[in-house]
Each structure stands twice: as structure tokens, then as C-alpha cells.
Amino acid sequence: MSDVLDLTDVSVRREGKTILDRVSWSVTDGDRWVVLGPNGAGKTTVMQLASARMYPTTGTVSVLEEELGSVDVTELRTRVGLASAALADRIPRGEKVLDVVMTASYGVTGRWQESYDELDAGRARDLLAAFGVGHLVDRAYATLSEGERKRVQIARSLMADPELLLLDEPAAGLDLGGREELMAALAELAGDARSPVLVLVTHHVEEIPEGFTHGLLLRDGKVEAAGPLEEVLTPQHLSRTFGLDLEVERHRGRWSARAPH
């Protein structure tokens, strides 16, 4: 079992503010992690480090056994898939869905003069079909619903066959049906041994798909708990993470949390 991600004593400071405070976290081959915490807890910052798009102020970060600061991050970034709102914002409005996915093999958003062959197009079509949006290949990305866009983004993040896949709030903005369809697609991905190591960021325990194995709880830039989901998603840890009393339930592999009356 090798470490896919390793953060040791990592702090990130910006404009005098400590965004991450001595965070240590290890992700091993085969794991499916959820990163959970309230607004401003530092989740996206952890994803920026994990995708080699940011360096820590202090501490060490290794991604796929390469230590940030001592490797060429351009090459490393191609080995990490990322789906996030920030990345989605960079997709040109008129871009064809097939190109949104295919351009990921060059790590660009917006098709220009790169050359693609039938194999690339075939892989993009297969990925879109796997996420239930195969019929949308020729549509302009801007004309899709939010749920369709989210699936296209995940298909795109898998295009370059990453070893690590980071999904930053994949269910944000989806209606109940869209969320549940996405949960089913992600559960399938989690259950497939050929899938990359998965890390999913969310604010809601209801958005943890079946098959996810571990959780990292963050609050105010600090780790509240990290480990197997059953050990981490306790009322005590979740209440401390979100700063209010919470009851937690698990039903058929899915979680829910609510404040008691």
C-alpha cells in the first residue's frame, strides 16, 4: 500500500490569516475519502495542495509520492484529476460537451489547436455515456442543466486517466433527483477497483456516496478527526466540526445528520 497523498504538519497562511493549521493527513492506495467541514474550514485549500496547485507555507505535502517543491508540478498535475467550481468557471460557454471532456487530456479548458484522434474522442464519449450524459456530446456546455454539467465535469476529470481524483463539492446546486443520480454514479465509481483513489469534498453527510471508506473532518483549518467513516462520523465529532449538537444516522450505506429537537 503506497501513500497517494501525505500532508505532514501543513500550515497555509495568507494575508496574516492561518487557513490551515498544522494539518497532517495520509491517503493510501484504494481509499475513498470524504473531506467534510463547514464553510471556510479549509477544504478547498486542502484540495489546492492535493492537486499540486498550491504550496504549503510550512510543512510537507507529497502527492503520488512526489514532494511539492522538489518536482515539476506541471507533470504531476496531469496525474491528478480535479472537478471543482473554479475549474468549471473556466470552460468557455460555447464549448461543445465532447471538447469539454477531450481537452482534459492536454490539461486545458477550451479547444484551440491541439490535435485529437479517434481514440481520444472514443474515450470521451465512453466517459460521458458512463455518467449518463452520452446523448449530450454535441451540445454547447452552457445549455446544460446544473446536474448535467456536474456529470460532464466528472467525466472530464477522468479523461486523462488520473491516479488520484479530487471532486470538490460535486453535488452543490443539484436538486434532489440530480443529487441522487450523482450519488449512484459516484457509488459505482467508488466500487470499481479500477477507479483512481477518490477524495470528495462536501458540506453534507447526505452527500457521501455509498462505498466511501474514510473521512477527514476540518474545522477552522484544523483536523477535528480523520480515519474510517464509522469512527469519524460520530455525533461528537460532527457536532464539534459544525459547532452545534447533531444526531447522526446511517441507513443502507448512506448517512444523515440533524439537530435534535
Ligand X SMILES: Nc1ncnc2c1ncn2[C@@H]1O[C@H](COP(=O)(O)OP(=O)(O)OP(=O)(O)O)[C@@H](O)[C@H]1O
Chain residues binding ligand X by CB under 6 A are 14-15, 17, 19, 37, 39-45, 203
Among candidate residues 49, 87, 89, the one with its CA nearest the CA of residue 68: 49
For ligand X, give the closer residue by CB, 123 or 214: 214
Would you mind telling me the total number of residues written for the chain in this entry?
261
- State how far the Cα of 203 lies from the Cα of 41, in Å rounded to an integer: 10
DSSP-derived letter for residue 162 is -
CB 259 within 8 A of CB 226: no
First vs last Cα of the chain: how many Å apart? 44
The least CB distance from residue 93 to ligand X, in Å, is 23
Question: What's the min distance (Å) between Cβ of 195 and ligand X?
Answer: 24
Query: What's the min distance (Å) between Cβ of 42 and ligand X?
Result: 4
98 or 232: CB nearest ligand X:
232
In a 10 Å sphere around its CB, with 0-12 CB exposed, 13-18 middle and 19+ buried, how is residue 166 labelled? buried
Task: Say how far apart CA 111 and CA 115 lie, in whole Å.
Answer: 9
| φ, ψ of residue 28 in degrees (nearest 5) | -110, 155
The residue whose grid cell reads 452543490 is 172
Name which of 40 and 228 has its Cβ closer to ligand X: 40
Amino acid at 16: G
CB of 13 to ligand X, least distance (A): 9
Minimum CB distance to ligand X, residue 61 (Å): 15
Would you say 17 or 194 has its CB closer to ligand X?
17
- For ligand X, the closer of residues 128 and 201 by Cβ is 201
